[in-house]
Amino acid sequence: MKNNKVFSYDKAMQRIEQIVEQLEGDDKSIDELADLVKEASSLVKDCKKKLKDTEGEISKAFEDEDKPE
Amino acid sequence: MQNSLRLFELNALIKTTLDLHLDPGYWVVAEIGEFRDSVRGHAYLDLVEKEEGQLLAKLRANIWSYTYQGIRRKFESVTGEQLKAGMNILCLVSVQFHEIYGLSLNIKDIDPSYTLGERARRRQEVIDRLKKEGLLELNRQFLLPLVPQRIAVISSVTAAGYGDFINQLDQNPYGFKISHKLYQASMQGKETPSSITKAISLVEKDMVTHGFDLLVIIRGGGAQTDMDSFDDYELAKSIAEAALPVVTGIGHERDESVADLVAHTQMKTPTAVAAFILTGFKDFEDKLKMSLNRMERACRNRWQREKEALSGKEFLLLRLFSGVLSEQKDRIDTHKLRVASVAKYALKYQLLQIQGVEKGIKKSVGDFLHQEQVRLLHLQNNLKLSDPVGILQKGYTRTEFEGKPLHRHSPRPGDEIITFTNKEKINSKITRVNEYEIEPAYRTGRHNENVTRGDD
């Protein structure tokens, strides 16, 4: 999530889709395309991490509930 | 000049005539008008006869000392009284005439039984009158107070009987407190009836403020000769009409006086009156004690009965109650078991529900995450496919005219174009433009039209 203090999965996804759309639009120069792809790859990594973290948190939360007191 | 007599001669003639013509003695009935003793032991009297208050006859009389002592002793021993004015007597007299002192009677004897009978007659007259006027029984209409605690006493403070009476009341062995107030009256002599009557009026006046409940008239130690005063009509009337019950203790030994007859209760002496009053207290106390004993006994019996009844009821209640109690206990136990069972079941059900929900959540989350992962993967693939680096590495090239993909422009001969390989950037000029169709291999895309392999 780099420098962003508050990471929003939805916003990241919107941005990725926007980039894909732009790539598909194909009216950018090759330099611009390269930058967009880098940004999108980074966002994909962040989203993957977010998903992994969320899965871990949820598992942990249910595990706590199941533990006998 | 007529024949005349000297006064002495006349008196001598009268004396001789009387001596010749009168008997030596006459029994005469008369009232003593005046009576006086002389220092020499003689008695001088006026004998009178009245009719309806009017004087009919009057004559001087004397009893010479020698005779008088004998007459007096006999008279007093029979009648209990002294000779005095107002008495009717039957006396044996001789008529005397003295040249200087004139006519008089010399009393030689007095019959006391006549005076006694006379007094009895007068006393009977008083009694008859009182009876006729309804006064004889009037004072007895009062109920004697059970415990006379405030007593009005009519007596003379100097009378020995009064002292005895007060001592006996105040120092009674039972410790009863009896309040008494003396109303002073003359208890002997002619003034007695009016004095006592006046005292009764005073008592009646004080009755409300002092709360008297009994009037006592006592006399003691006086001469036995003054009893006539207590036969007086006016005194008897005032006793009969007194506003309180009257107890007399006049202290005489002969028959009762009229005052005694009209009083509520008569006692012989002042001490007897005190004893009577104390007896009343004692009786009351005894009755009170007896009542208390009876009450206590009755209470105890009642208490015992009630206690037994209560015990019976208590036992019955306990028996009934223990049945109800046990029944209720069983019911409660049943309810308890049911509640526990239902609760347990409900808990189990809720647990299952929650577990289901949990499972659902887990599954939803898992699905969601998986879906998102797939979506991401897809996006990543798209990105990979769109990445110019990957495409150029595969040997494809990209040609741009003025910074835009060539397919966005209609190339003409002479246009200067830039072609990108994975390693070079080649500037070239179009010499000829040929139209041609390319078949899509995996997918169609406008940009593919602009990509040519370097080795073509």
pLDDT at B391 exceeding the cut of 70: yes
- Chain B positions touching A40 (Cβ under 8 A) are 379, 383
- Give B371 to chain A, closest Cα distance, Å: 10
Single pTM value for the model: 0.50
Q: What average pLDDT does this structure show over B179-189?
A: 90
Q: Are residues B173 and B235 in the same domain?
A: yes
pLDDT at A68 exceeding the cut of 60: no
By C-alpha distance, the chain A residue nearest B448 is: A26
Q: What is the DSSP letter of B2?
A: -
By C-alpha distance, the chain A residue nearest B449 is: A26
Q: Which range of residues forms the domain containing residue B198?
A: 146-282
Interface contact flag, B372 A51, Cβ < 8 Å? yes
Q: Are residues B16 and B55 in the same domain?
A: yes
Q: Are residues B79 and B165 in the same domain?
A: no
- Chain A positions touching B366 (Cβ under 8 A) are 55
Mean pLDDT of chain A: 79
Residue where a domain terminates, one of B94, B129, B164: B129
By C-alpha distance, the chain A residue nearest B369 is: A51
- Give A44 to chain B, closest Cα distance, Å: 7
Query: Strand B398-401 vs strand B404-405: parallel, antiparallel, or unpaired?
Result: antiparallel
pLDDT at B120: 83
- Chain A positions touching B393 (Cβ under 8 A) are none
Residue where a domain terminates, one of B266, B282, B298: B282
Element (H, E) at B248: strand B246-249
* Main-chain dihedrals φ then ψ at residue B111, nearest 5 degrees: -90, 105
Q: What is the DSSP letter of B158?
A: T
pLDDT band at B448 (very low <50, low <70, confident <90, very high): very low
- Chain B positions touching A13 (Cβ under 8 A) are 375
Q: Are residues B84 and B155 in the same domain?
A: no
pLDDT in tens, B29-46: 999 999 999 999 999 999
pLDDT at B451: 45
Task: Give me the percent of chain B exceeding a pLDDT of 90.
Answer: 44
Lowest mean pLDDT: which of B15-29, B81-95, B377-391?
A: B377-391
Please report the number of interchain residue pairs, chain A to chain B, with beta-carbon separation below 8 angstroms. Answer: 68
Q: Are residues B213 and B171 in the same domain?
A: yes
Q: Are residues B95 and B212 in the same domain?
A: no
pLDDT band at B456 (very low <50, low <70, confident <90, very high): very low
Element (H, E) at B410: none
Interface contact flag, B388 A19, Cβ < 8 Å? no
Q: Which of B366, B380, B387 sits opposite A44 (nearest CB)?
A: B380
Instruction: Confirm whether B403 is domain-assigned.
Output: yes
ipTM of the prediction: 0.72
Q: Which of B361, B369, B383 sits opposite A54 (nearest CB)?
A: B369
Q: Are residues B112 and B152 in the same domain?
A: no
- Chain A positions touching B369 (Cβ under 8 A) are 51, 54-55
- Chain B positions touching A24 (Cβ under 8 A) are 382, 386
Q: Are residues B266 and B151 in the same domain?
A: yes
Q: Which of B369, B387, B420 sits opposite A51 (nearest CB)?
A: B369
pLDDT at B218: 92
Instruction: Confirm whether B324 is domain-assigned.
Output: no
Instruction: Confirm whether B32 is domain-assigned.
Output: yes
pLDDT band at A21 (very low <50, low <70, confident <90, very high): confident
Instruction: Confirm whether B332 is domain-assigned.
Output: no
Which of B238-242, B338-342, B429-433 holds the top average pLDDT?
B238-242
CA distance B59 to B46: 6
Instruction: Confirm whether B418 is domain-assigned.
Output: yes
Residues facing residue B153 across a β-bridge: B182, B216
Domain CATH code at residue B116: 2.40.50.140
Lowest mean pLDDT: which of B254-268, B270-284, B416-430?
A: B254-268
pLDDT band at A58 (very low <50, low <70, confident <90, very high): confident
Mean pLDDT of chain B: 87
Interface contact flag, A48 B382, Cβ < 8 Å? no
Q: What average pLDDT does this structure show over B216-241?
A: 81
Residue where a domain terminates, one of B69, B95, B129: B129
Task: Give me the percent of chain A exceeding a pLDDT of 90.
Answer: 0
Overall domain count for chain B: 3
Instruction: Confirm whether B12 is domain-assigned.
Output: yes
- Chain B positions touching A34 (Cβ under 8 A) are 387-389
Q: Are residues B125 and B156 in the same domain?
A: no
Q: What average pLDDT does this structure show over B218-229?
A: 67
Q: Which of B365, B386, B445 sits opposite A58 (nearest CB)?
A: B365
pLDDT at B450 exceeding the cut of 60: no
Instruction: Confirm whether B235 is domain-assigned.
Output: yes
Q: Are residues B162 and B261 in the same domain?
A: yes
Interface contact flag, B376 A51, Cβ < 8 Å? yes
Lowest mean pLDDT: which of A20-29, B15-24, B197-206?
A: A20-29
pLDDT in tens, B119-173: 888 889 999 999 999 999 999 999 988 889 899 999 988 877 888 899 999 999 9
The angle formed by the CA atoms of residues B353, B355 and B358, to the nearest 5 degrees, is 110
pLDDT at B252 exceeding the cut of 80: no
pLDDT in tens, B338-348: 888 988 898 88
pLDDT in tens, A31-41: 788 888 888 88
pLDDT at A67 exceeding the cut of 70: no
Interface contact flag, A65 B403, Cβ < 8 Å? no
Residue matched to tokens 């990509």: B451
Contact status, residue B231 vs residue B122, Cβ threshold 8 Å:
yes
By C-alpha distance, the chain B residue nearest A52 is: B369
Q: Are residues B63 and B183 in the same domain?
A: no
Q: Are residues B277 and B197 in the same domain?
A: yes
pLDDT band at B454 (very low <50, low <70, confident <90, very high): very low
pLDDT band at B234 (very low <50, low <70, confident <90, very high): very high
Sheet holding B214-218, edge to edge: B179-184, B150-155, B214-218, B246-249, B265-267
Instruction: Confirm whether B409 is domain-assigned.
Output: yes
Q: What average pLDDT does this structure show over B23-28?
A: 93
- Chain B positions touching A46 (Cβ under 8 A) are none
Sheet holding B416-420, edge to edge: B404-405, B398-401, B416-420, B425-429
